[in-house]
Amino acid sequence: MIEERIMDSKPNTSDKLVLDNMNLDVADPATLERYRNSLRALNGGHPWLELKEEKFMEVIGAAGYGTDGKLHPTGAGLLMFGKEYHITDEYPDYFLDYREDDGTERGSYRLQSQSGEWSGNIFDFFTMVTERLSASIVSPFGQDGSVRKENPEALAAAVETTVNALIHSDYDVRRGVVIRVNRNTVEVSNPGTFRVPLPEAIDGGVSDPRNCQIMKMFSLIGLAERVGSGLFTIFELERGGAIWYVEISESYNPSRVTVKFDLSPDMEADDTVCEIINILRTDSSATVAIMAERMGLSEKTVSRILSELKTAGKIVRVGSNRKGHWEFI
C-alpha cells in the first residue's frame, strides 16, 4: 500500500517509462494496425496516419528513446499493443478477464489474457469486450432468444466504465482487471485506488489518470477525455434512467476499485426514486420514517416506492423492519 502511494505521487506516470530492455518487436503488428484503423475511422485526415510504424508509436506515446539513443517501447506501448507473454515479463501480475453469464446452461463466455488464443493486450481486450457488450446490451434479443429493450445508453455506461478501469489500473498490483456481465448487471473492477477523492471524481472536472499515456491513446480514438468526466458521465446516465443504481467500492490489500450498475431498468427512475436509491446507498439501515422526513414525503409514498423497487428486483430487505437493512441485488 505504501509503495503504491509512492508510485502514485511521482510526477510522471509509470506507463511513460521507456523499457530499455525491450525492442519494438514486442508489439503485435496486427493490434497496431487495428488501432490505426480506429484513428482512421475517427479522423481519416490525421497526419499521423502517414507515419511509419516506429514514428507512429513514438508520437502516440507507445515508444521513446532509451539511454542507448534507440527507440524502445514505453510501458503504455507494451500494455496497449504488446503480446501477453512480453507484457508479463515487465508486469508479472498483469491480467485481463471478461466473463458473461446470461443464466442459461450454454450462456457463459470468458475472455482472458492468458489464454494464448489472442494477443492478450489492452487494446484488443477493449475491442473484443466492446463487441460482446454491444451484442449483450444493445441488441433487442438476448443470447437465449428473449426480447430485451434496446438500451444504447447502458452500453455507453459499460464502455465508459471499462475504459476508466483500463486507464486507472495499477498493473503492478495483483488480480488484474475483471469485468463480469450477467442478465442484469455489469461489474468492473481494477487494481489500484482513486487518485482523487471519490466525491470529486463523481462531480467531474478533475483528471488525474494513473496511466496518462494509455489515456492519450484512448483519447486519440475518441474514447477518453481529459476532464475527469468518467464517473460523472456514468452517474448522469443513472440520473437519466438509462441504468439503475451505481455502486462504487474501494478495498485494500490488495487495493482495488469496483464499479457495479444495473443495465436493465424495469421501472421509471424519476428524481424521487433516484433520491431514495441515493439514501439507501449511503445508509442501508434507513427506515421509511427517516427517508420520508429527509425527502419531505409521506411514509405511504416512500413505502410504495420501496415496494416497487423490491418487485422490480432492485433491492431486498434483510432482517426485520426495525433492525434490518436494505441491499441492492
85: CATH: 3.30.565.60
Residue 161 and residue 275 in one domain: no
How high is the pLDDT of residue 238?
72
How high is the pLDDT of residue 277?
81
Residue 295 and residue 241 in one domain: no
Residue 69 and residue 143 in one domain: yes
User: Which residue in this structure is represented by grid cell 493486450?
Assistant: 121
Q: Does pLDDT of 144 surpass 50? A: no
Lowest mean pLDDT among 38-47, 76-85, 98-107: 98-107
Percent of the chain with pLDDT over 90: 44
Out of 262, 281, 312, pick the residue that ends a domain. Answer: 262
Residue 213 and residue 323 in one domain: no
Peptide bond preceding 209 in cis form (omega within 30 of 0) = no
Residue 211 and residue 295 in one domain: no
Of the candidates 76, 66, 70, the residue with the CA atom closest to the CA atom of residue 35: 76
Residue 248: pLDDT band by 50, 70, 90 thresholds? confident
Residue 278 and residue 252 in one domain: no
Lowest mean pLDDT among 141-155, 243-257, 299-313: 141-155
**Main-chain phi, psi angles of 206, to 5 degrees:** -120, 120
Contact residues for 328 (Cβ-Cβ < 8 A; gap 6+): 245, 247, 262, 280, 281, 314, 315
Contact of 163 with 126, CB cutoff 8 Å: yes
Residue 247 and residue 118 in one domain: yes
Average pLDDT, the chain: 83
| Amino acid at the residue 251 | S
Residue 148: pLDDT band by 50, 70, 90 thresholds? very low
Contact of 166 with 208, CB cutoff 8 Å: no
| Amino acid at the residue 119 | S
Percent of the chain with pLDDT over 70: 81
Q: Cα–chain-centroid distance for residue 38?
A: 20
Q: Which domain holds residue 305?
A: 271-328
Radius of gyration of the chain (CA): 22
What share of residues in the chain are helix, strand, coil (percent, to 5)? 45, 15, 40
* Structure confidence by residue, pLDDT tens digits, 160-185: 889 989 999 999 998 899 999 887 78
H-only helix segments in the chain: 2-8, 29-42, 53-59, 75-81, 84-90, 122-133, 152-168, 198-203, 212-220, 230-239, 271-282, 288-295, 299-311
State the CATH number of the domain containing residue 317. Answer: 1.10.10.10
**Main-chain phi, psi angles of 283, to 5 degrees:** -145, 85
| Amino acid at the residue 4 | E
Residue 107 and residue 68 in one domain: yes
Tell me the three state secondary structure of residue 141. Answer: strand
**Main-chain phi, psi angles of 54, to 5 degrees:** -65, -45
How high is the pLDDT of residue 49?
96
Residue 209 and residue 279 in one domain: no
Residue 248 and residue 276 in one domain: no
Residue 183 and residue 318 in one domain: no
Residue 272: pLDDT band by 50, 70, 90 thresholds? confident
Q: Work out how many domains the chain is built from and give that number.
A: 2
Residue 214 and residue 318 in one domain: no
